[in-house]
Amino acid sequence: MKEDNKASDRSYLDTTLPFEERVVDLVGQLTLEEKVGLMSHPAKGIPRLNIPAYNYWSEALHGVARNGRATVFPQAIGMAATWDKDLIKKVASAISDEGRAKYHAALKRNGYTDQYQGLNFWSPNVNIFRDPRWGRGQETWGEDPFLTGELAAAFVKGLQGNDPKYLKTAACAKHFAVHSGPEKERHTFNAIVTKRELYDTYLPAFKKLVQDADVEAVMGAYNRTLGEVCCASKLLIEDILRGEWKFKGHYVSDCWALADFHLNHKVTKDAPESAALAIKRGCDLGCDHVFDEIPEAIERGLITEEDVDHALERSLLSRFKLGMFDPPDQVPFTSISMDVVGCDANRKLAYQTAVESVVLLKNKDNILPIKPTTKKIFVTGPNATSTEVLLGNYYGFNDQMVTMLEGITGRIPEGMGMEYTTGAMLKHPREIKETWAPGMAQSSDLAIVCGGFSSFLEGEEGESLLSPEDGDRHSISLPASQVNYIKELAILGTKIVLVLTGGSPIALGDVEDMVDAILFIWYPGMEGGRAVADVLFGDASPSGKLPLTFPKSLDQIPAFDDYSMAGRTYRYMEKEPLYPFGFGLSYSQFAYNDLKLEKEKIELGDSLSVSVMVQNIGAITAPEVVQFYLSDLEASTIVPIHHLIGFTRVMLESGEKQKVEFIITPEMMSFFNDDGKLTLEPGDFRLEVGGCSPGKRGQDLGAPKPISMNFTIG
């Protein structure tokens, strides 16, 4: 270590040098104790070098989280329902603006930044939502690897910014890999998948974020995959992430996952062995205190100080890219002021995102939007006045949250009557048997029942009130308290609009037939009430599409701990769902016509240009999400029944037509073989274009009739 600490010897402060060279210089000036102090999420300060303490653990799943005031956007699964990449990038850019402002304010106030005040955002979660019981599915972008990758890549680009030198914030793809419940077993579970399933389902989104979005960090999962702990997996970290994909960023453990090595997975004997294994396999930053045992690991000969240097260089490089060692006037984001936090522009963006996330699942006799001739409405249900259902998990706070009742109250036209009562509890039976609710419903033209789940009934390990030991759901049905209340209203002939909150599919059973309309609004963020009200009254047409399949019941899907994709998601599920992937109705109607292929037979390795005409045949201007699906009809191994290869949002006036063009690449026509290798074979393929995933169920529910054509690879 250099002992001369004159500024002239500190090349790491020379902003004309490459970051990589500066990092090496800094690490070379540190003692082993100082190095170790920088390798856990609460990185210690180094006073002699004027380096303040810094905490890597910050969250930004759908807004700056757990750090006071922020704009609260819809939960990630709700953002996924927009199918709007441009919007998602704008949301993430707004989040990173607020994160930057709050970081510099905390640094100025305290001289350092504590947990949740930093610029390393441990988002997005790109695990595949393969099972509706998983409580953390709400954090994801759905069940489809392609959709997840496309939307999450836009999110990462928005978070990290487009400056050629500096990162605005540092995004993190988590949890690598093959991780989606059960929550209570995550510290001991070994996920078993085939190489084909690994590459076909569980890895594509991570690859997209690494190679297309240049994500700065990757977080390892708690569990084992194919026998190896994910935070020290040769296959996942060495062979795939850094080998095949050439990832150059840093790898961080999930919190307390390194302690699981010796305490739960039993792959090491103690903390020094766990620290050594993680360092040797490429985990650079620990979200716990296991890396405090690095000196003992070195003494035992398990690793060398050079191994430690390589790991520290990767994590410190992120801090250099964030401008933490450079004069503020040279870093373009340091001037973002606190005025941006919760500003009007960001509120409007939260509103737009909430509107676009609303999925209309049913609209019998076009009962929605609410007609101007309606005399009186009845607002009821356990979630009508709930702020909790706006939040999701990993949330920030805002003093202007708009509940459903507040949103409807602000929108209802003068002269239209309205009454309200809770009517039912979220999950418990009513304590008071007698209620005025049926009478209020009978005297109204329409009952708007606000029900579903809250983020406190599903979530991470330890979060759920339904299952506090894990956070998952052991039933996906609407709670009996709500079902009984809806029956109580329906038996009187009340017309019911059911507004459902939730982060995952809800099996409705008989309720689906009892109600006239269903809006699924996820956890819609601070502007949720206003957005939903505007959809109810027709100021905006619903355009959200489901980013996952809603099964009719748990009987339709395999065991929760079975990670095989057989029978799961729209790609491999052969049973008829309640609501299919990609489904969502509009207040208008659309027609798909004139599908054209450049050729009906192409050579192996060629791309194929296609076009389709989409027309709004309804009476109002409305957006539609055009979806492209491909089926390989002659593959030599198991392949998806059909899979999403492209999508785009179009806004069409009544009667307007638009030609949508698309290119099918050889990679889209390929599949992963049993060895996990991308394979392109000759044979017949079917392309289907429409407003929902292929299948009779979507059309039965009112989705536009899709259009399809076959082509051949010769």
Active site residues: 254, 458
Tell me the C-alpha distance between 75 and 520, whole Å: 13
Token pair listed for 692: 């929902």
CB atoms within 10 A of CB 699: 16
Give the separation between CA 486 and CA 437, rounded to whole angstroms: 11
Place of tokens 């659309």: 590
| Total Cβ atoms within 10 A of residue 55 | 17
d(CA 104, CA 97): 11
Write out the H or E segment, with its range, that includes residue 409: helix 404-411
Burial class (CB in 10 A: 0-12, 13-18, 19+), 108: exposed
Q: 369: cis peptide before it, omega within 30°?
A: yes
- Which pairing describes strands 657-664 and 643-652: parallel, antiparallel, or unpaired? unpaired
Q: How many residues does the chain have?
A: 714
**Which has the closest alpha carbon to 168: 214, 233, 234?**
214
Cα 308–296–22 angle (5° rounding)? 20
Q: Are 713 and 600 in contact (CB under 8 A)?
A: no
CA proximity to 238, closest of 198, 279, 266: 279
Q: What is the Cα–Cα distance from 527 to 372, expressed in whole angstroms?
A: 24
CA angle at 312 for the pair 308 and 315, rounded to the nearest 5°: 150
Q: Output the six-digit token pair for 363.
A: 């609209």
Residue 423 identity = G
What are the strands, taking DSSP E only, across 473-535?
Answer: 496-501, 517-522
Query: What is the DSSP annotation of 126-141?
Result: ------TT-GGGGGS-
Question: What span, in angstroms and rounded, lies between the C-alpha atoms of 11 and 28?
Answer: 11
